[in-house]
Amino acid sequence: MAARNALLRHLRVNVNASLLKDNIGARESALPFTVLLRRFSDEVRGSFLDKSDVTDRVISVVKNFQRVDPSKVTPKAHFHNDLGLDSLDTVEVVMAFEEEFGFEIPDNEADKIQSIDLAVEFISSHPQAK
Amino acid sequence: MGATKLSGMQKQVLSLYRGFLRAARSKTTEDRRRIEMIVSTEFHKNSKEVDRKNFQYIEYLLRLGTKQLDQLKNPDMVSISSIKVVTSKT
């Protein structure tokens, strides 16, 4: 039994490594990548969210923000220049993203998120975003 | 107001603000909303009233805020009393 377990563990490590390696070239197309990841067990947390899905959710979070005029929210809107938010409001918006996507954004990253497209970029490239 | 480049002090203030909002998450929904309202009002008020070159005073406020945040992080703290201190002292 112990030997079988050891063997299985060993095999899985191998499979992970080779599949990921094969897939690096195919990263551009988001779909095959996520489909491949689904073959792994839940332990392998690494699925990236679809960019257009992230954009929609980010936009709806910003639209629900009390100090924002929803009609001004566009996929490229800058929090300060286009939406008139100050740096404190921006902190609140980024914290709201944390809750929407269920992961914590460290301070130095959060300070860089100044617009909707930057937020989408960051969240869709973050493996822990849900 | 520095939309792209933040000074070190601005970063400290934003980081403190983030700390307060994080601490508020651990409270009940009602307390949380109240804390967020008070903290947000306080920070916005100071951001308008305090001269951005008055470094000494801002440093003082940062120290004060850090202390209050530490108190708020205590799970026994039922927010209101500690938060009232925020408004009255500053």
Domain containing A83 equals 51-125
Rounded to an integer, what distance in angstroms lies between the CA atom of residue A46 and that of residue A105?
17
Per-residue pLDDT of B28-76, as tens digits, reads 898 899 989 999 999 999 999 999 899 999 999 999 999 999 988 887 7
Q: Are B52 and A129 in contact (CB under 8 A)?
A: no
Enclosing H/E stretch for B87 = helix B80-89
User: Which of A22, A69, A86, A111 does the annotation list as catalytic?
Assistant: A86
In-domain check, residue A88: yes
Q: Are A26 and A32 in contact (CB under 8 A)?
A: yes
pLDDT band at A22 (very low <50, low <70, confident <90, very high): low
Per-residue pLDDT of A69-118, as tens digits, reads 899 999 999 999 999 999 999 999 999 999 999 989 999 899 999 999 99
Rounded to an integer, what distance in angstroms lies between the CA atom of residue A79 and that of residue A71?
13
Rounded to an integer, what distance in angstroms lies between the CA atom of residue B3 and that of residue A112?
10
If phi over 0 gives left and psi between -120 and 50 gives alpha, with beta otherwise, what is residue A85? beta
Domain count, chain A: 1
Q: In the A/B pair of chains, how many CB contacts fall below 8 A?
A: 39
Rounded to an integer, what distance in angstroms lies between the CA atom of residue A61 and that of residue B85?
32
Q: Is A89 a catalytic residue?
A: no
pLDDT of residue A129: 81
Choice among A36-50, A59-73, A86-100, B2-16 with the minimum mean pLDDT: A36-50
Mean pLDDT for all residues in chain A: 79
* Percent of chain A scoring above 90 in pLDDT: 47
Q: Where are the domains of chain B?
A: 9-73
Q: Which residues in chain B are contacts of A107 at CB distance < 8 A?
A: 11, 14-15, 18
pLDDT of residue B61: 94
Enter the ipTM.
Answer: 0.78
Q: Do B1 and A110 touch (CB under 8 A)?
A: no
CATH code at position A110: 1.10.1200.10
Residues of B with CB under 8 A from a CB of A: 1-4, 6, 10-11, 14-15, 17-18, 21-22, 40, 43-44, 47
